């Protein structure tokens, strides 16, 4: 007898708005989900409710941003509907789209067993092209070229269109890279002849497939997926949204699509994500009767933290209006640490962690230190080591990027797809077999002339007798690996390849500690293959689990850092704010809150850039459940030089009542003691002390700041928070000009504001 809960049971677990978001299943739906508002529960229960309502699970497509999120979602759904959860199509954009491409790739000229190139593979191809074209590697930097190509694909610009665009060509000429379009053309051609797709191709080629629509493939998937759900919609790029639109627009009329996200947590513009997707979604589907539900109840954080986040985000120009609230009580106020320098900041953060562990009985795993850039971790690592506090830094080298791991994976890739040029380049002479760089150069030259893979060119090159024997031996070895990969499961094939390739014997010759670690990593990879084969968890969207080597390679190619499991490890987490998205900790430390660091100097000169930095700060502080500590330093060493920057403007946007001691004003007139951050005796502080967060008194969408160098004494000006004011005095020079402005709306009446940081619109 089934023990699955009835709809009445699981619907009781939801608040009123969550229940509406779950049960309104037809037509376009936008769920605006604030931090800690039960977004995952709404998504999973919505899918469960669809299945309870009679929708076939394989007719539901759910797109996420990590495989871990999709896996957890399936596990939750299974608790409600049983094994039917395994038949839901759920996964990342890349993993789901790669599965569709495995089925349909031959319709656009790719083999079904295509290789997925990681970032290193892509850069290797680009570097080879740059070398062959005799271009300057300093000017034609592989990372920059790869980023440019990625941006083109994300905006649906193929090589021929890129080459034909005078705008793009002019930009490249100004960057002293006039041959970039040729690299893009060559790169695209070489990936195709190698039967390989990079991560961008998994989106770009799927769009190509749906757009060209061979054999009615678009209608096939439009009919297959009757309900489409997208998680973290604010992180989608232009191309992802275009694909989603194609899948739901059946016969010109959009059907059942539900997107879930929070515009205030859109922080991946540098990866091509666009906040416009979620901001414009309502208008895009307005004529089709879109329903919008706002999840504003925060179940994660205490009220001081939630209100501080609300206050900060009100300063952003374009946003979906919402007010997040908490019923967890006021909680502790936010702790603010002002250090003389970055070394003192590291020490005081470590001291505070010890204090919290002792006073609040926190474990290491309850605590995280978040910073704007990965390079900031060093000083915190030093003091955590001194205090014998276990920690782990995220953002270092991935397990799958280690040499010994990549070597074995290259052999596994060749066993599945011998046309994979990058895998062949990596291992054709490792372990050594007398096929050196000169010989490989001859193969590459012939392959380029014939426009064919290296594998096809290998037997055609007139080598010396010794090299020819080595080449024939290598081809025979790979042929044997191919047969094994087709006949056996992934572990049997991988174990055979690891032994016969000579990799294990080579690693065993290194008896150093580093060598032992490499051998351990090698064994860990094989353990992972075995776990993949023996796992009961269904990771495919078909009825029969595919445990082949090809399936395993696809699985690991699509893993992200967020998919790693570290549940039982008790350490303090150190990571960038970007990496912390989606996580939560009892205690959060947000460090380095200074101008030019957070917000970054690269972003703060534009409204859009500053808004994204503010959203990043919003994400950082909303990771905290009970304790939030913010810190900044009077000076720090950056790029070998001591730099001093004022405190971050974001501190100025939080009511002082939420701090255990008010911060030093970033652009005040000396009302606060420069070290303690407390008001000087007899002086009223600049920070807002109202019990309610101050809302902008001006509509941010119509507000247009004037250039600060145009503001003069006597000007009538407009400020987002303080309203209209009158400039009565200006002192200082150039970027140190400070204006005294009378604002009738304020109790204090008068503010002193450094103009280079001010956002003021001249009214007259």
- The reported pLDDT for the residue numbered 249 is 84
Span 329-355, pLDDT tens digits: 999 999 999 999 998 999 999 999 999
Judged against a pLDDT cut of 60, whether residue 544 lies above it is answered with no
CA quadruple 212, 214, 219, 220: dihedral sign: negative
Q: Give SS3 for 75.
A: helix
* pLDDT of the residue at 536: 54
Alpha helices for 84-165 (secondary structure H): 93-104, 119-132, 142-154, 159-164
Q: Give the separation between CA 564 and CA 300, rounded to whole angstroms.
A: 23
What does each C-alpha distance from 443 to 413, 427, 453 come to in angstroms? 20, 14, 9
Structure confidence at residue 555 (pLDDT):
83
Q: How large is the average pLDDT for residues 431-446? A: 92
Structure tokens at 86: 């395994």
Q: Which of 315-324, 396-405, 553-562, 679-688 has the lowest mean pLDDT?
A: 679-688
Is the separation of the CB atoms in 350 and 649 below 8 Å? no
Which pLDDT score, from 0 to 100, does residue 525 have? 87
**Residue pair 89/44 in contact by the 8 Å Cβ criterion:** no
pLDDT class of 542 with cuts at 50, 70, 90: very low
Which regions of 559-602 does DSSP assign to beta strands (E)? 572-576, 585-590
Per-residue pLDDT at 181 exceeds 90: yes
Q: Any idea what DSSP says for residue 197?
A: E
Q: Greater confidence, 602 or 541?
A: 602
Name residue 261's beta-bridge partners.
Answer: 32
Confidence of residue 82 (pLDDT cuts 50, 70, 90): confident
Q: Distance between alpha carbon 742 and the CA centroid of its chain, in Å?
A: 43
Residue 79 and residue 511: Cα distance in Å, rounded?
49
Task: Name which of 509, 496, 493 is nearest 431 in CA terms.
Answer: 509
Closest to 484 measured CA to CA, from 495, 475, 474: 495
Token digits for 278?
């979620």
- For 745, the 3-state DSSP assignment is coil
- The pLDDT, as a whole number, for residue 200 is 95
Tell me what percent of the residues of the chain surpass a pLDDT of 70: 88
In this structure, how many other beta carbons lie within 10 angstroms of the beta carbon of residue 563? Answer: 15
User: Residue 372 to residues 43, 263, 376, 416, 597: CA-CA distances in angstroms?
Assistant: 30, 20, 8, 41, 7
Q: What is the mean pLDDT of residues 117-137?
A: 93
Q: What is the structure's pLDDT at 517? A: 76
Please check the confidence at residue 490 and state whether its pLDDT lies above 90. yes
pLDDT tier at 451 (50, 70, 90 boundaries)?
very high
pLDDT number for residue 3: 59
The stretch 512-536 carries a mean pLDDT of: 81
Per-residue pLDDT, averaged over 294-321, amounts to: 94
**Section 426-449 average pLDDT:** 93
Residues in the chain, overall count: 764
The reported pLDDT for the residue numbered 673 is 35
Neighbouring CB atoms inside 10 A of 170's CB total 11
Higher pLDDT, 554 or 572: 572
Q: Per-residue pLDDT averaged across 403-414, rounded? A: 94
Is the predicted pLDDT of residue 676 greater than 70, yes or no?
no
Helices 607-621 & 303-313 angle (0-180, nearest 10): 170
The span from the CA of 369 to the CA of 350, in Å, is 10
Stretch 195-209: mean pLDDT, rounded?
96
| Mean pLDDT on 113-126 | 93
Helix H or strand E encompassing 602: none
Paired with 752 in beta bridges are 740
CB 420 within 8 A of CB 414: yes
DSSP H helices, 535-632, are 549-557, 577-580, 607-621
pLDDT score at 1: 41
Query: Mapping DSSP to helix (H, G, I), strand (E, B) and coil, where does residue 709 land?
Result: helix
Q: What is the model's pLDDT at position 386?
A: 87
The pLDDT tens digits of the residues spanning 375-385 come to: 788 889 889 98
In sequence order, the 6+-apart residues with CB closer than 8 A to the CB of 79 are 4
Q: For residue range 677-706, what is the model confidence (pLDDT) as tens digits?
A: 333 333 333 344 333 444 455 666 677 888
Give me the active site residues, please: 39-40, 231-232, 265, 623
E strands, 217-305, are 227-230, 249-250, 253-254, 256-261, 291-295, 297-298
Structure tokens at 358: 């002792």
Per the model's pLDDT, the better-predicted residue between 239 and 560 turns out to be 239
Residue bearing tokens 């757009």: 211
Which of helix, strand or coil describes residue 108? helix
For every residue of 688-706, DSSP letters joined together read: ---SSPPPPSS-TTT--PP
Residue 587: CB atoms within 10 A of its CB come to 24
Residues 271 and 315 sit within 8 Å (Cβ to Cβ): no
pLDDT class for 134, splitting at 50, 70, 90? very high
Q: How far apart are CA 558 and CA 102, in angstroms?
A: 14
Report how far apart, in Å, the C-alpha atoms of 93 and of each of 89, 202, 558 are: 11, 9, 10
Q: Please tell me the predicted confidence (pLDDT) of residue 729.
A: 79
pLDDT at 709: 83
Counting residues of the chain whose pLDDT is more than 90, the rounded percentage is 60
* 328-332, 532-536, 559-563, 731-735, range with the lowest pLDDT: 559-563
Residue 212: C-alpha distances to residues 54, 219, 244, 245, 431 (Å): 33, 12, 16, 15, 44
> What confidence category does residue 85 fall into, taking pLDDT thresholds of 50, 70 and 90?
confident
- The whole-number pLDDT of residue 251 equals 64
Segment 509-537 mean pLDDT: 80
On average, the pLDDT of the chain sits at 86
pLDDT at 672: 34
How confident is the model at residue 540, as a pLDDT? 40
Q: Does residue 242 have a pLDDT over 90?
A: yes
Q: Looking at residue 265, what is its pLDDT?
A: 95
Other CB atoms within a 10 A radius of the CB of residue 69 amount to 22
- Residue 702 burial by Cβ neighbours in a 10 Å radius (0-12, 13-18, 19+): exposed
- Residues whose CB is less than 8 angstroms from the CB of residue 9 and which lie 6 or more positions away in sequence, other chains included: none
pLDDT level of residue 253 (50, 70, 90 thresholds): low
Q: What is the per-residue pLDDT for 254?
A: 64
Which residue is associated with the tokens 């925060």? 298
Least confident residue range of 134-143, 438-447, 495-504, 696-705: 696-705
Start-end of H helices in 319-402: 342-359, 377-386
- Across residues 117-123, what is the average pLDDT? 92
pLDDT at 666: 46
Average pLDDT of the residues in 354-366: 95
pLDDT bracket for residue 674 (50, 70, 90): very low
Q: Which residue has the tokens 């950082």?
A: 620
| 411 alpha carbon, distance to own chain's centre | 29
| Structure-token match 């469960």, residue found | 48
CB 240 within 8 A of CB 206: no
């Amino acid at each position: 007898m089934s023990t699955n809960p009835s709809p009445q049971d699981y619907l009781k677990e939801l608040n009123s708005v969550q229940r509406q978001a779950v049960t309104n299943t037809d037509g376009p739906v936008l769920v605006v989900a604030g931090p800690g508002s039960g977004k995952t529960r709404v998504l999973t229960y919505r899918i469960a409710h669809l299945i309870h309502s009679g929708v076939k699970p394989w007719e539901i497509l759910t797109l996420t941003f990590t495989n871990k999120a999709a896996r957890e979602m399936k596990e939750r759904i299974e608790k409600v509907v049983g094994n039917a959860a395994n038949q839901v199509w759920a996964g990342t954009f890349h993993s789901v789209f790669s599965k569709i491409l495995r089925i349909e790739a031959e319709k656009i000229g790719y083999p079904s067993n295509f290789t997925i190139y990681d970032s290193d593979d892509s850069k290797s191809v680009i570097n080879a092209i740059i070398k062959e074209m005799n271009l300057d590697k300093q000017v034609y930097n592989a990372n920059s070229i790869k980023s440019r190509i990625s941006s083109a694909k994300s905006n649906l610009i193929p090589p021929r269109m890129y080459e034909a665009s005078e705008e793009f060509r002019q930009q490249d000429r100004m960057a002293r890279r006039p041959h970039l379009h040729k690299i893009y053309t060559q790169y695209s051609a070489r990936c195709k002849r190698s039967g390989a797709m990079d991560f961008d191709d998994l989106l770009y080629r799927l769009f190509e497939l749906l757009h060209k629509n061979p054999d009615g493939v678009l209608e096939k998937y439009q009919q297959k997926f009757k309900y489409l759900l997208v998680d973290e919609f604010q992180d989608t790029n232009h191309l992802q949204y275009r694909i989603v639109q194609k899948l739901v627009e059946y016969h010109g009329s959009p059907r059942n699509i539900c997107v879930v996200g929070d515009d205030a947590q859109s922080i991946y513009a540098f990866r091509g994500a666009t906040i416009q997707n979620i901001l414009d979604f309502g208008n895009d589907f307005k004529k089709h009767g879109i329903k919008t539900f706002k999840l504003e109840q925060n179940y994660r954080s205490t009220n001081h933290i939630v209100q501080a986040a609300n206050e900060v985000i009100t300063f952003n120009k374009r946003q979906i209006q919402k007010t997040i609230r908490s019923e967890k009580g006021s909680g502790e106020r936010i702790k603010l640490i002002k250090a003389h320098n970055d070394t003192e900041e590291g020490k005081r953060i470590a001291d505070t962690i010890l204090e919290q562990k002792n006073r609040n009985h926190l474990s290491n795993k309850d605590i995280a230190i978040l910073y704007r850039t990965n390079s900031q971790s060093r000083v915190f690592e030093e003091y955590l080591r001194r205090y014998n506090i276990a920690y782990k830094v995220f953002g270092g080298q991935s397990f799958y990027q280690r040499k010994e791991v990549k070597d074995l994976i290259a052999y596994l890739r060749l066993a599945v797809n011998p046309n994979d040029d990058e895998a062949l380049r990596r291992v054709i002479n490792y372990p050594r077999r007398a096929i050196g760089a000169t010989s490989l150069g001859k193969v590459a030259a012939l392959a380029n002339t014939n426009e064919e893979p290296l594998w096809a060119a290998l037997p055609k090159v007139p080598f010396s007798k010794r090299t020819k024997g080595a080449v024939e031996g290598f081809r025979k070895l790979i042929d044997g690996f191919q047969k094994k990969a087709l006949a056996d499961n992934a572990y049997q094939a991988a174990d055979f390849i690891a032994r016969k390739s000579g990799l294990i014997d080579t690693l065993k010759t290194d008896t150093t500690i580093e060598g032992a670690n490499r051998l351990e990593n090698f064994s860990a990879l094989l353990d992972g293959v075995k776990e993949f084969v023996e796992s009961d968890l269904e990771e495919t969207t078909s009825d029969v689990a595919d445990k082949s080597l090809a399936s395993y390679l696809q699985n690991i190619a699509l893993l992200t850092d967020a998919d790693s499991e570290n549940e039982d490890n008790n350490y303090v987490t150190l990571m960038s704010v970007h990496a912390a998205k989606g996580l939560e900790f009892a205690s959060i430390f947000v460090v380095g809150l200074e101008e030019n660091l957070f917000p970054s100097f690269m972003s703060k000169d534009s409204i859009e850039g500053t808004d994204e930095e503010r959203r990043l700060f919003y994400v950082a502080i909303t990771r905290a459940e009970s304790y939030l500590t913010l810190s900044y330093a009077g000076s720090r060493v950056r790029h070998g030089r001591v730099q001093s920057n004022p405190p971050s403007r974001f501190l100025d946007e939080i009511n002082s009542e939420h701090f255990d001691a008010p911060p030093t004003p970033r652009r005040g007139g000396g009302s606060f003691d420069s070290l303690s951050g407390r008001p000087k005796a007899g002086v009223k502080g600049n920070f807002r002390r109202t019990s309610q967060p101050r809302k902008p008194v001006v509509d941010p969408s119509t507000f247009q700041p004037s250039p600060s160098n145009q503001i003069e004494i006597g000007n009538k000006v407009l400020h987002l928070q303080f309203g209209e004011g009158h400039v009565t005095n200006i002192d200082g020079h150039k970027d140190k000009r400070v204006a005294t402005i009378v604002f009738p709306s304020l109790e204090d009446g008068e503010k002193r504001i450094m103009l280079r940081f001010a956002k003021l619109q001249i009214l007259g």
